[in-house]
């Protein structure tokens, strides 16, 4: 899955949403979240984000590592 990290917070550009072929990027209060099951790993959203908030899960920078869980828990609260 792809993951949205901290740079999206309070930015919410939403350019990523237009690129997603399966509409699996959902808007929350302060940021957007990618549904980890619905995402087909196409990568189309990643270059669309002007603040580079989107990463393939394995490539999320370590300081934002918790965002993989944060995206998943938005859909299925722990
Ligand atoms: Fe949507 Fe593709 Fe981005 Fe996954 S990688 S959120 S399917 S655009
Ligand atoms: Fe956020 Fe970037 Fe999408 S700022 S809404 S991840 S285009």
pLDDT in tens, the chain (78 residues): 999 999 999 999 999 999 999 999 999 999 999 999 999 999 999 999 999 999 999 999 999 999 999 999 999 987
Q: Report how many domains make up the chain.
A: 1
CATH number, domain of 42, equals 3.30.70.20
Residues 6+ apart with CB under 8 A from 64: 5, 6, 55
Q: 14 C-alpha vs ligand 2 centroid, how far in Å?
A: 5
Domain limits at 13?
A: 2-75
* Minimum CA distance residue for ligand 2 atom 7: 49
Cα-to-centroid distance, 78 and ligand 2 (Å): 24
Of ligand 2's listed atoms, the one at least distance from the Cα of 7 is 4
pTM of the model: 0.97
Return the pLDDT at 77.
84
Task: Give the pLDDT confidence score for residue 4 in this predicted structure.
Answer: 98
Q: How far is the CA of 43 from the centre of ligand 2 (A)?
A: 13
What is the Cα–Cα distance from 66 to 77, expressed in whole angstroms?
A: 14
- Atom of ligand 1 minimally distant from the CA of 43: 5
Q: What is the pLDDT of residue 69?
A: 97
d(CA 67, CA 7): 11
Q: Is the dihedral of CA 46, 48, 52, 53 positive or negative?
A: negative
Burial of 53 (0-12, 13-18, 19+ CB in 10 A): buried
């Amino acid at each position: 899955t792809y993951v949205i990290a901290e740079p999206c917070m309070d930015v919410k550009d939403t350019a990523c949403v237009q690129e997603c072929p399966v509409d699996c990027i959902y808007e929350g209060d302060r940021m957007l979240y990618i549904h980890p099951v619905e995402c087909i790993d196409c990568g189309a959203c990643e270059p669309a984000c002007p603040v580079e908030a989107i990463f393939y899960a394995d490539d999320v920078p370590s300081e934002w590592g918790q965002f993989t869980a944060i995206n998943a828990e938005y859909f299925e609260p722990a």
